[in-house]
Structure 1
Amino acid sequence: MILLALMSMLVVYSSTGSLAYKMYKGNTEVYLFKQIAFTGVGLFLIYFAHMVNYTLYSRIARILFLITIPLLVYTLFFGVSLNEGSRWIRLPIINLTFQTSDLAKLALFMYISRVLSRKQDDIKDFKKGFLPVILPVVLVCLLIAPANLSTALLVGATSMMLLFIGRVQIKHLLLTGAIAMVPIMMLILAAVWQHHEGNGVRARSEAKSRLTARVTTWVSRVEAFMYGNNGSKNEEDDNYQVNQAKIAIAKGGFFGLGPGNSETRNFLPHPYSDFIYAIIIEEYGIMGGAIVLVVYLLFLYRSIRLFRKCPYAFGAFLALALSFTLVIQAMANMAVNVNLFPVTGVTLPLVSMGGSSFLFTCIAIGIILSVSKYVEKNEQQQQSEPEGQETVEA
């Protein structure tokens, strides 16, 4: 976490220099100080969350999940809109916005970890075992998807992996996956049809409702990913973002241009959030990008070891679920930056510029450390037992 946070400060300072100069009349350090403040708050949240006994999270999981559902409904209809999607709600007193989907992910994985740990005897049964764990996942994904389809897909994929590890029947997972593939295939077919129909479809789709506009955006992104473009110069176009990211990666080469020497940051939209990985590669080269990738994989490896050592099912499932969602989100962000996935709105955990996503990521890491602390205490107790006691018990 410290390695990623240090990388974040360097790259956020570099990628926001021009924006800060424009917005704050020459003061280019504003966003750097904000990122340092977010990192300090994040470290406090990690420390606080890791001091709490992880079994307490099992007790509050149901309450937190029940609070999340009306928040998602409120966000869907009355939230702050950006790019035709309602993803944020504004807190009235402190006048700050946060993404309810971040809270929903945390609450959902705590809740299904609790249900999985309690349903292991009936987990193979469709009604008693499968439905109680899949219905919360479906509900949360349906509420998130209209405004943030990419996050809903990531939550669904993480949940499916967790259910597979939780010994859910393969046929039940395959059935769920087949149903989920139907709307995805419809998006792909719509993108193919729109590409062959041409600009007439786009012209007819301008005066649409917000939901219809979001569907049009999804279709356009899939179309752009499948067919590319002819060198778009529109900064709002997804192809423009992808092309600028490719330029940044090409300029970076193997060892990069050096810290603070990015040139594409002045042209690439959102270089401090969605496309920060392209700036990392431009400044630190493929080697720097590979180091970031290895850090996330090391984080996942440590979490898997923790899962294997944890003696209780809830802690094991909780640590694995939270680590899966962070690493899968990181992989999705990096894949978008190198044009392996269509453009999405997901950030690079702990590296993109601070916000509600950064703070909820820190809480998730604190919960993982809480489980880890208990496992370490358990191992120390076992090692400190008298050698003769094991013989007597045997």
Structure 2
Amino acid sequence: MKQTLSLKANFYNELKGDLAIWLVIALLAAFSLMAIYSSTETLAYKERGGNTEYYLIKHFLILAVGLCFTYVCHLMYYMRYSILAPLLLYISIGLLICTLLFGPEVNDARRWLAIPGIGITFQSSDLAKIALIIYIARSIAFKQDYIKDFGSAFVPIIVPVLIVCGLIAPADLSSAVILFVTCLTMMFIGRVDMKYISILIVFGIMLLAALIGLGYLFPEFIRVETWTSRINEFVNDPVGGYQIEQAKIAIAEGGWFGVGPGQSTQDNFLPSPYADFIYAIICEEYGLLGGATIILLYLFLVFRCMRLVTRSPKTFGAMLSIGLCLSLVLQAFMHIAISVHLVPVTGLTLPMVSMGGTSIIFTCISFGIILSVSKYIEKVKEKSELAMAGS
């Protein structure tokens, strides 16, 4: 009995930071494994001769590697990420340019880069999102004394936002919009003047208009026709296209409590049910109860990160945690909105739940950095409590 209690104590000591966030990660990972196992059945028969365990084991291993990254990142003192921010940003911009120019074209978009020698591909935008958020958090923190100044504070913040979002948008407009909104929110929380934020919104609209214009000149780089066709389909077809119709059927069949784990039938009809429409599969198998649980987990994550914002003794920690949290949660809610036909289809995955390789890794890194901030806040709290007890 004592040995069991000792093991539990050691386990909790190893998991520093907010245990509630660790719980959110664990529950999302559990949902992910269950949903991936059932949603890849058709894919397994097509690609692996009916070996339905193949994709489950592969996804489990990726999750395990991702959680190792979470653990390592949460051990690192979060202020070190501030030191790395400029280098990460420059590397990300270079990789985004290489992706646009030399990346393989998949589904009419250049989003991926291959790592030479090992044959692994990754989305350069995943790294760019984290790098930009860290850099913006650093800039807001360092410029707090003159944050209302246009030339000294606003311009150095807005330039990297426009560059990174502008480079992501041609191949992945939805991710660029989510990142742009995340940066806007960080600036608002960081006390940047509202009139300058309004200017940034106007710049964003102008940048989008410029991209659309360039898209007609260079269609091989910018997917204007894809954007307009999806918007037209969303506006003109109240039922939705084939994908949305199948997603709605899946959600409707699930009812309140679902058809049961592994009993989905819509995974045979939905394109990429293990990625772009995994929320619909969760609703089919676990009902509205399961779907609501997913939403509540992401909302709870926002609540815990807002708690970090109010308790962080350093501005950088507050901005970093809320920025990374918002990027994940906004993507999650956009994915859910697509499944219920509230927004046009964009191909966004559900963070920490959809099947993926490097996307899971970068999501886990984001969680690790958030936990690094919470770990430091807990240490400060413990020191202050000890000081008060000693006095």
- Give distance in 1, aligned partners of 2:365 and 2:219: 36
**Contact 2:36–2:274 (8 Å) recurs in 1:** yes
Q: Give the AA of the match of 1:138.
A: L
Deviations 1:314-353 (Å, cap 9, x if unpaired)? 1111111101111111011111111111111211000000
Q: Give the AA of the match of 1:282.
A: E
1:355 positional shift: 1.4
- Give distance in 1, aligned partners of 2:140 and 2:52: 49
Q: Give the AA of the match of 1:216.
A: E
- Give distance in 2, aligned partners of 1:215 and 1:18: 32
**Contact 1:86–1:147 (8 Å) recurs in 2:** yes
1:388 positional shift: 7.2
Same amino acid, percent of matched pairs = 48
Residues 184 and 131 (structure 1), Cα distance of their counterparts in 2 relative to 1, 3 Å cut = closer
Q: Give the AA of the match of 1:162.
A: M
- Give yes or no for the alignment of 1:56 onto 2:66: no
- Give distance in 1, aligned partners of 2:44 and 2:344: 29
1:210 positional shift: 1.6
Aligned to 1:350: 352
- Give yes or no for the alignment of 1:147 onto 2:174: no
Aligned to 2:100: 76
- Give yes or no for the alignment of 1:280 onto 2:282: yes
Q: Give the AA of the match of 1:240.
A: Y
- Give yes or no for the alignment of 1:291 onto 2:300: no
SS in 1 for 2:105: strand
**Contact 1:187–1:218 (8 Å) recurs in 2:** no
- Give yes or no for the alignment of 1:227 onto 2:199: no
Deviations 1:20-71 (Å, cap 9, x if unpaired)? 1221112111100011101110111011001111111111111111111111
SS in 2 for 1:173: helix
**Contact 1:124–1:168 (8 Å) recurs in 2:** yes
Moved more, 2-11 or 251-260: 251-260
Deviations 1:276-308 (Å, cap 9, x if unpaired)? 001011111111100000000001100110111
- Please, what is the CA RMSD of the aligned residues? 2.0
- Give distance in 1, aligned partners of 2:146 and 2:173: 32
* 1:191-230 alignment, distance < 5 Å: 209-211=219-221, 214-228=223-237
Residues 67 and 187 (structure 1), Cα distance of their counterparts in 2 relative to 1, 3 Å cut = closer
- Give distance in 2, aligned partners of 1:360 and 1:156: 18
Consecutive unaligned residues of structure 1, counting only runs of 5 or more, are 191-204, 232-237, 390-394
Moved segments of 4+, more than 2 Å: 178-188, 386-389
Residues 2 and 302 (structure 1), Cα distance of their counterparts in 2 relative to 1, 3 Å cut = same
Match of 1:104 among 128, 136, 139: 128
1:354 positional shift: 2.6
TM-score (norm 1): 0.89
1:208 positional shift: 8.0
Aligned to 2:186: 162
- Give distance in 2, aligned partners of 1:338 and 1:210: 31
Consecutive unaligned residues of structure 2, counting only runs of 5 or more, are 1-24
Q: Give the AA of the match of 1:223.
A: N
Residues 387 and 52 (structure 1), Cα distance of their counterparts in 2 relative to 1, 3 Å cut = closer
Deviations 1:59-85 (Å, cap 9, x if unpaired)? 111111111111100001101211111
SS in 2 for 1:90: strand
* 1:25-36 alignment, distance < 5 Å: 25-36=49-60
Count of residues in Structure 1 that have an aligned counterpart in Structure 2: 365
- Give distance in 2, aligned partners of 1:187 and 1:56: 35
Aligned to 1:326: 328
Residues 159 and 388 (structure 1), Cα distance of their counterparts in 2 relative to 1, 3 Å cut = same
SS in 1 for 2:111: strand
